[in-house]
Structure 1
């Protein structure tokens, strides 16, 4: 078990140390965001809200699956304890 943890931490260290800074927006999104800020429009806020919405959905789905798994696991252990 200790060996697996060391390998996992080593892989994370290599991944973090080898990453580069990148700009992940497409050209149209970048121009739209820059122009909206300069002109005082609220498109940039909408763009940021959309990005946060897209970011939150996977975390919510994984959290929901984790809660369901925990509830199912807890019921199984309670039933096992009652039968023993």
Structure 2
């Protein structure tokens, strides 16, 4: 890939980096260039912004009951297999 032709994988990485305010000028141009042609990455950026916006309102003091913890662990173990 050329300097301005980046993969969707790199574009999604740059979207996340952009949300943290850490893009340099080359990365910014690369991302803008990619976004003009890739509707899926534009959708990813919209979804990422939505999640970030709503994650700020999550109760950080929330706790899980023991049955919820066990269910979560079981689900994660099933995913790993």
What TM-score, normalized by structure 2, do the two folds share? 0.31
Q: Quick one: higher RCO (CA 8 Å, sep 6+), 1 or 2? A: 2
Larger proportion of helix = 1
**Structure with larger Rg:** 1
